Amino acid sequence: MADNSYVHGYSSRESERLADQAQTLTDLLHHDTRYLPGSRVLEAGCGTGAQTVILARNSPGALITSVDISEDSLKHAEEKIREEGIVNVTFRQGDIFRLPFKKGTFDHIFVCFVLEHLAEPERALSRLRPLLKDGGTLTVIEGDHGSAYFHPENGDARRAVQCLVDLQQKMGGNALIGRQLYPLVTGAGYNGVQVSPRMVYVDASKPALVEGFTKLTFTAMVEGVGTEVLDQGLMSQEAWEQGIAALYRTAEPDGVFCYTFFKATARK
C-alpha cells in the first residue's frame, strides 16, 4: 500500500489506535486503584458503566455495588458488564443523596466523573461518608475543562471551551471541579486527603492520543454543544467555527494539547 494508507487509516488500525488511547487513559486514571479480594466497594454514580468495567477488572475479587439514579443508564451498564463476562458487580438504583444502605456497609467508595454534574458535590460526599466503615477509603476522579490549553493558542478556541464550562454551570454542574477536589473532600469531613493531578500531554509523538484524545474526546465534546452555543447566542457562528477549527488545528504535527484530570483519595 502507498504511504497515505497510514494517514487515512485502516479501520482495524484505527480501532487499535483508539484502544491504545483508551488504555493509556485508563492506566493514567485507574492504575493505582486496586481493592482487595472480599472488600465491599460502592461505586456511586456508575452511569452506563464505562468506569464500572475498569473498576471490576482491576479488582476482580472485590464485591462491587454500582448505583445510579437513572434506571435507563443502569440497564446499559448491566448489559455492558454482562457482555464483558464480569461477575463481581451488583447494580442498584438510588439517589446519591440518600442511598439505601446501612452505616458502615462499605470498605471503599469510588466516585468517578459524577461530582461535575451535581449542584451540591460537597453534600453528596458528606452523605456518602457514613456508608464507609471507619478507616475505609474514598476515591474521587474528576476532569477540569479549565485545565485545557494548547498550541497554537487561539482566542476563539478558548472561548469555545469556556462556553462548555458556562453551559455546564447553567445546568447546575461544574466543569472546573477537578482542581477543587482537595477543599471538597476535606470539607465533607474526610481525613488524610491527597490529590494527585493526572495530566494528559499530547504532541505529534503520540499519534494515538492526538486522534483519540485531542480530536475524538476533547474537541468532539466541545463540538457537541455547538447547537446550544449558537441557539443561546453565546458565540457567533463564525467565531464558533473558527474556535472548533483551532482546536482541531492543535492536532496537527506542530500542535500540542494539555488536559488534567484530578484524583483524590481520603479516609473516613
Task: Name the site residues for a second copy (rule: CB under 8 A).
Answer: 144, 146-147, 149-151, 153, 176, 179-180, 182-183, 186-187, 193-197, 199, 201, 203-205, 253-256, 258, 260
CA distance 53 to 58: 9
The minimum distance between CB 142 and a second copy, in angstroms, equals 12
The minimum distance between CB 181 and a second copy, in angstroms, equals 8
Whichever of 114 and 185 has its CB closer to a second copy, that residue is 185
CA distance 27 to 142: 15
Whichever of 60 and 152 has its CB closer to a second copy, that residue is 152
Name the residue with cell 474528576: 142
Whichever of 54 and 148 has its CB closer to a second copy, that residue is 148
The minimum distance between CB 151 and a second copy, in angstroms, equals 5
The minimum distance between CB 218 and a second copy, in angstroms, equals 15
Beta strands 40-44 and 256-267 are unpaired
Whichever of 155 and 172 has its CB closer to a second copy, that residue is 155
Beta strands 149-151 and 89-93 are unpaired
